[in-house]
Amino acid sequence: MLTSGGIAALLGFLWQWLIARKPATAVGMHFWLINCTPTWILGLLLIAMYTPGSLAAGILVLICGLIQSLYCCWITSRVNYAKRVLSAATSNPPAKLNAILIPTMLYSILYACLLVSGILGITATRKPVYRIIIPVILLSLVWTMTVIRIVILVTISGIKYIRYVRKSTVQTLPELWDYLDNSMGYICIASAVVPVLEFIRLTARMRLLARFNSEFLLSCANWYSSWAARMIMFGNRWGFVHVGVYSQAIKEASIDTLGQLRRAKMEVLILSDLTGPFCFLSAVAGGAICSLVGGIWTFAVEKSYATEITLYAFLIGYLMIQLAMAWPHACILAYYVAYSERPQHFQNDTTIPDRMEELQRENEEKKDEGSSAPPSTAPPTPSPQPHRS
């Protein structure tokens, strides 16, 4: 487990360095090279362990790998914009950024490894109580890591927002302590609410790809989509910008920021943006790599614990890379929210206007294709011949 934790920390630092130096290269390398490969290999490793649990997990991982592969084929036309917007948003990062990121990563790795080591110790006892304790420990780990990630999101997005909107520079560490003093309660609430609402939004968007023959299922899907659209107003990732800057509660901050994005006619733009999936899939790939390291090692030494170690290593790697991706994600959030409020401050940056024009042209072309399509004419039904006796 310590080896997997060390690999997770190393991957996190390397990925942060690459995004800071060459963000366009990081996006292209991820979507075309390292997005699906670790997932496929991990699925094959779990199947090779040949236990009931590993077989089920391996099949599930292979299905996820297939979905990732299809997704990469589906979003090819949007990758160039993702490169451009990530390069624009992460330029001129806050000063002394490493003073936050490095201690946070090291503390998180130590905390995760200690908790997972405790889980392994409880599992070794095989007492009935471990079935209750392990989910509680895992839930505590995920929630704590989410709180740490959102603290970084709030801090970095607030600093970048102030730079965009007010044209002023603030110190990183004093802002961090100020946010911890004034917004920690809101951050803890947001860490529990926002991931759930974002998952609801994701599942609602997935129904757009489905086709229902049943009118009842179609009406249910439409109701669920409209309900998710209302719920996301009360908790979304864009609200983190105002949580830090104005010390707002996550509900008010989410309503303000998403409402401003809609008034600026940027909702279609942010829904088609790939930087959010880029951060998430980077965490999945990092978790798969850590899982491969821990799983192969354990499978060669102690096969009875190979499945558990593999899954726990994936969780550690996933959480660590998500934490590492917090600062570029924060830059993206601040970039969009600041542009929606002060577009005149981005006169020398045409990234968003160019993309909005491109989306508008695509929408007009689709409308033209729909209007120019010839009406479908059914072949005439032959009239019945009179019966002759």
Q: What is the DSSP string of 44-76?
A: HHHHHH-SHHHHHHHHHHHHHHHHHHHHHHHTG
Judged by DSSP in three states, 23 sits in helix
Checking if the pLDDT of 1 tops 80, the result is: no
Unique residue bearing structure tokens 């799983």 = 295
Checking if the pLDDT of 194 tops 60, the result is: yes
Whether 381 is covered by a domain: the verdict is no
Burial of 88 (0-12, 13-18, 19+ CB in 10 A): middle
Q: State both tokens at 195.
A: 């991931």
Whether 195 is covered by a domain: the verdict is yes
Residue of higher predicted confidence among 92 and 176: 92
- Model confidence at 383, in pLDDT bands (50, 70, 90)? very low
pLDDT at position 389 is: 37
pLDDT in tens, 15-64: 889 998 999 999 988 887 777 889 999 999 999 888 888 899 999 999 99
Based on DSSP, count helices (H) and strands (E) in the chain, helices before strands.
16, 0
Q: State both tokens at 227.
A: 């309900």
Whether 379 is covered by a domain: the verdict is no
Q: What is the dihedral of CA 21, 22, 23, 25, to 10 degrees?
A: -150
What average pLDDT does the structure give for the chain? Answer: 83
pLDDT at position 388 is: 44
Q: How many structural domains compose the chain?
A: 1
Whether 240 is covered by a domain: the verdict is yes
Whether 36 is covered by a domain: the verdict is yes
Whether 380 is covered by a domain: the verdict is no
Single out the residue of 251, 246, 268 nearest to residue 358, CA to CA.
268
pLDDT at position 106 is: 87
Whether 72 is covered by a domain: the verdict is yes
Quote the domain boundaries for residue 130. Answer: 2-343
> How far is Cα 294 from Cα 278, in angstroms, rounded to an integer?
24
pLDDT in tens, 224-277: 777 777 787 888 889 999 888 888 888 899 999 989 999 998 988 988 888 888
Single out the residue of 165, 159, 161, 337 nearest to residue 256, CA to CA.
337
> How far is Cα 135 from Cα 31, in angstroms, rounded to an integer?
33
Single out the residue of 9, 17, 59, 25 nearest to residue 39, CA to CA.
59
Question: Above pLDDT 90, what percent of the chain?
Answer: 21
pLDDT in tens, 324-376: 999 999 999 999 999 999 999 888 889 999 999 988 888 877 776 666 655 55
Q: State both tokens at 228.
A: 């998710």
> How far is Cα 334 from Cα 330, in angstroms, rounded to an integer?
6
Whether 338 is covered by a domain: the verdict is yes
